[in-house]
Amino acid sequence: MSDINNTRARYAIGIDLGTTHSALSYVNLSESDGEKSSHGVLKVPQLSAPGTVEELSLLPSFVYLPHADEVAAGDLALPWVTQEADAPFVVGEMARSRGATTPIRLVSSAKSWLCHPGVDRRAAILPSDAPAEVARISPITAATRYLTHLRQAWDNAHPQAPFAEQEITVTIPASFDPAARELTMEAAQAAGYTSLTLLEEPQAALYSWIQTSEGRWRKEVKPGDIILVVDVGGGTSDFSLIAVLERDGVLEPHRVAVGEHILLGGDNMDLALAHLVARKLAANGTQLDAWQMRALTYGCRSAKESLLADSGLDTAPIVVPSRGSKLIGGSIRTELTRSEVSTFILDGFFPQVEASSRPAVRTRAGLTQLGLPYAQDAAITRHLAAFLGRQVAATNELEGFAGRQSQDATFLHPTAVLFNGGVFKSDLLVQRIMATVNDWLYMEGAEPARMLAGADLDLAVARGAAYYSYVRRGHGVRIRGGTASSFYVAIESAMPAIPGMEPPIQALCVAPFGMEEGSELELPGQQFGLVVGEPVHFRFFASSTRRNDQIGDLLDFWGPDELQELSEIQATLSAEGRQAGDVVQVRLHARVTEAGTLELLAVSLDGAERWKVEFDVRGTPQQ
Amino acid sequence: MNPSSSHPSFWRRVPLAFGAFFSTLSDAAYAARVEKLSLPEVAPVAPVAPAPAPAPVHVPAPAPVILKEATPDAALQLLALLQREARLIDFTQENLGSHADADIGAAARVVHEGCAKVMREYFTIEAVRQEAEGSRIVLNEGFDSAQVRLTGNVVGSAPFKGTLSHRGWRASSVRLPKLSEQHDAAILAPAEVEL
């Protein structure tokens, strides 16, 4: 898939496919040498209003599906020739602003839907609350449109260096499961990306930090460091742990653990503040409609940013403009105070909790699975405590790390923290996380962690991705790690049936932890009989903590948090050259592609035939 | 002018000859001109150009300066941006007399914040003079009168010494959005109808 010896490439391109914004960054290969690299961010031409094209460094990740009477000829013209779609659509800034007033035609957070196991991600389901006459699109189509727009923007700006010939990296959340990774890959291929690699966002943030330091990073981190990457974006929070090893005198970062997918981000904070202010206004007899509520959310965001940034400020005024042309008198003035922001944001989203605290889980009301599975506990610090607690043993097996952490540690002790995401432009929030983590460390008698400074909070992921494309060509340091989970299929135990009880299952490890890109393993011993033409389903599990299970290991028992069930996988043998109903004996192989996706293969015993075992992305109701 | 003095000397002709040799080899257009030289000389009385040359040969008479006519599109586009981001048209179309200062102040926040955003996003604006206002500065001969305007006791000749009363502003770049052919810039803000 990915061609590392892509000799025609003149640029290494990195694409941050974000939940709310996407960006494209690049490294000029001919002007880069070793750790000094020449890089830039592509200004993406996009519609900002009908018939108006602006060049912005971010592409808002929104698709707007306009009504036929909403747009006139030429209103949607871009600097390049767009492919005919079944129905007109708009991507970018105009989609975002139009969608704010007509949300039923707006596709947003497509990335979160792409990894939502409860829905069919290839089906046209977005916008989820659109009326019947709107031609919906699938999450994968939405992602394809963002990626296509970025490709066309590149080709428009660099006709002499076509996109298809460059080295491409697309970022994904570290918490994406194998199915979501494969769907991202599928979207990229549909968008005409021929040579690409996937990279986890927290790793991209660290690459960006390494690149920005131009070699000084070797002085700022030392062997034995455990770097905690805290990435809070607009809609998601993502944690990773990266340990720094020394091999043959060379520093080698290893990504040792990634967190769960948490749908919680900066947008939730703005919305929470807007509701607080709206309640205050309602107490004085002013009711806001949906339009004013959006304007208030926008106002709260800038008020929050100024209050969190400037410690001398006590209140920040917010004005909700009138909708009609009577601006004076029709506008509503209110304010946000410093204490409200610190109570709501600091104590609501970043409370100083114990290391032992865990996110609250409440049982969901019946039909909530139709929407996105948002995090139920808003406290990012509690999610962080849970992550570090779960990964307490993450570095035990790593060479040079044995015995570094005391035996009674209840969570993994990070020694450095790297922040990413626009939320952390506020020093207050950075300090709160540092203080909380250092409290936890102090309680267990460990040294305080230090903060790795100098990160570019908005564009680090895109920049880091471009740098990774560059690193893959053999320059600079590379983060190792492989898969961040081990994977299992369920096998029914051979035991007599007991009425009223499901037969107990065993978990068969089909892919161990830390498989590197380009490696393939065969499942020893176990053979499966597959019936030609009939799909066979397996329950599929992942574990982010069981690091020592080898391929072929059969588990009888596991802890309640150790294994997470993912969507089913299924194998279908094509009937080609066989009678339907024949049984073929196969072995399972696990393969991690160069691009970074996991593939399970059913291989016939003579090895001559291979069938891909598919991840079921049609949505299985969650238990 | 003495015609003989326009003929180059021998020593001047040596580099000329070499130069002509190499230029004839490498430059086809030059070679064509050299080829023309060896044709019998035409009386240079009335140089009839082979093609009608657009450049007039005569010395241009002092013509009236052509004033540029500003295209309305960019101006309309800026107005539309100021309305969209800052509600500037709404604000200026209202009668301030009937409103309390507190209401005007609230609206002014919207206008101020939006105008600042338009300035920031579509222009790069910097001061013409970097010195602090109120400081004494010296303008040397040949200063650009478009960039610095002299006021008050304007007599004598450069260098001028004076006090900087305003730093001036310069737009060092303009990044207005591009418009499609069919776009009607006269619609500064469309009417909105909620269904």
* Chain B contact present for A290, CB below 8 A: no
Question: Residue A341 in contact with residue A304, Cβ under 8 Å?
Answer: yes
- Are residues B84 and B28 part of one domain? no
B85 contacts on A by Cβ (under 8 Å): none
- Are residues B98 and B31 part of one domain? no
CATH of domain A11-199: 3.30.420.40
Cβ–Cβ below 8 Å for B180 and A75:
yes
Pairing verdict, β A36-41 and A106-107? unpaired
In this prediction, residue B2 has a pLDDT band, given cuts at 50, 70 and 90, of: very low
CB-based burial, A12-50: b 16+ in 10 Å, e otherwise: bbbbbbbbbbbbbbbbbbeebeebebebebbebbbbbbb
A323 contacts on B by Cβ (under 8 Å): 192
Question: Could you read off the pLDDT of B58-69 as tens digits, one per residue?
Answer: 666 677 777 877
Place of tokens 């129905």: A87
Number of Cβ within a 10 Å radius of residue B126: 13
A55 contacts on B by Cβ (under 8 Å): 175
- Are residues B145 and B102 part of one domain? yes
Closest CA to A452 of A160, A195, A83, A206: A206
- Domain containing B15 equals 9-37
* Chain B contact present for A339, CB below 8 A: no
| B110 in any annotated domain | yes
Share of chain B above pLDDT 70, in %: 69
* A232, β-bridge pairs: A237
Instruction: Give the minimum alpha-carbon distance from B179 to chain A in angstroms, rounded to a whole number.
Output: 5
- Are residues B91 and B138 part of one domain? yes
- Are residues B117 and B26 part of one domain? no
* Chain B contact present for A73, CB below 8 A: yes
| B58 in any annotated domain | no
| B153 in any annotated domain | yes
Give span(s): CATH 3.30.420.40, chain A. 11-199
Question: Residue A31 in contact with residue A185, Cβ under 8 Å?
Answer: no
Query: Among A433-437, B68-72, B73-77, which range has the highest average pLDDT?
Result: A433-437
* A196, β-bridge pairs: A168
| B15 in any annotated domain | yes
Which among A73, A79, A101 is the nearest to B182, CB-wise?
A: A73
Q: How far apart are alpha carbons A418 and A420 in whole angstroms?
A: 7
* Chain A contact present for B177, CB below 8 A: yes
Cβ–Cβ below 8 Å for A328 and B93:
no
Question: Residue A242 in contact with residue A229, Cβ under 8 Å?
Answer: yes
ipTM summary value: 0.75
* Chain A contact present for B86, CB below 8 A: no
* Chain A contact present for B94, CB below 8 A: yes
| B90 in any annotated domain | yes
* Chain B contact present for A54, CB below 8 A: yes
Instruction: Give the minimum alpha-carbon distance from B138 to chain A in angstroms, rounded to a whole number.
Output: 39
- Selected for mutation to probe chain B from A328, A331, A333, A334 (highest B CB count within 10 Å) is A328
Q: Can you list the residues of chain A whose pLDDT is less than 70?
A: 1-7, 34-35, 83-85, 362-370, 493-498, 500-503, 575, 619-623
* Chain A contact present for B186, CB below 8 A: no
Q: Say what the pLDDT of residue B19 is.
A: 67
- Listed in order, strand segments (DSSP E) in A435-563 are 450-451, 486-492, 505-511, 520-522, 528-531, 536-543, 554-555
Instruction: Give the minimum alpha-carbon distance from B73 to chain A in angstroms, rounded to a whole number.
Output: 12
- Quick check: helix, strand or coil at residue A500? coil
pLDDT higher than 70, residue B182: yes
Question: Residue A371 is which amino acid?
Answer: G
Question: Residue A215 in contact with residue A221, Cβ under 8 Å?
Answer: no
Question: Residue A151 in contact with residue A26, Cβ under 8 Å?
Answer: no
Higher pLDDT pick, B81 / A4: B81
- Are residues B153 and B88 part of one domain? yes
| B193 in any annotated domain | no
Question: Could you read off the pLDDT of B12-51 as tens digits, one per residue?
Answer: 676 666 666 666 666 666 666 666 666 555 444 444 445 5
* Chain A contact present for B7, CB below 8 A: no
* Chain B contact present for A70, CB below 8 A: no
Question: Residue B122 in contact with residue B149, Cβ under 8 Å?
Answer: no
- Are residues B89 and B20 part of one domain? no
Question: Residue A76 in contact with residue A84, Cβ under 8 Å?
Answer: no
- Selected for mutation to probe chain B from A82, A292, A327, A334 (highest B CB count within 10 Å) is A327
CA nearest to A52 within chain B = B179
| B29 in any annotated domain | yes
Instruction: Give the minimum alpha-carbon distance from A77 to chain B in angstroms, rounded to a whole number.
Output: 7
Cα-flanking dihedrals φ and ψ of residue A159, to 5°? -60, -25
Mean pLDDT for all residues in chain B: 80
Closest CA to A173 of A252, A96, A264, A97: A264
A53 contacts on B by Cβ (under 8 Å): 177-180
| B121 in any annotated domain | yes
B107 contacts on A by Cβ (under 8 Å): 319, 321, 327-328, 331
CATH of domain A222-451: 3.90.640.10
Q: Is the Cα dihedral B104, B105, B110, B112 positive or negative?
A: positive
Which among B90, B106, B177 is the nearest to A54, CB-wise?
A: B177
Q: Count of A–B CB contacts within 8 Å?
A: 78
Question: Residue A520 in contact with residue A483, Cβ under 8 Å?
Answer: no
* Chain A contact present for B117, CB below 8 A: no
The total number of structural domains in chain B stands at 2
Cβ–Cβ below 8 Å for A325 and B93:
yes
A321 contacts on B by Cβ (under 8 Å): 87, 107, 110
Cβ–Cβ below 8 Å for A328 and B178:
no
B84 contacts on A by Cβ (under 8 Å): 49
B104 contacts on A by Cβ (under 8 Å): 328
- Listed in order, strand segments (DSSP E) in A505-609 are 505-511, 520-522, 528-531, 536-543, 554-555, 564-571, 583-592, 598-604
* Chain B contact present for A82, CB below 8 A: no
* Chain B contact present for A6, CB below 8 A: no
Give span(s): CATH 3.90.640.10, chain A. 222-451
- Are residues B92 and B33 part of one domain? no
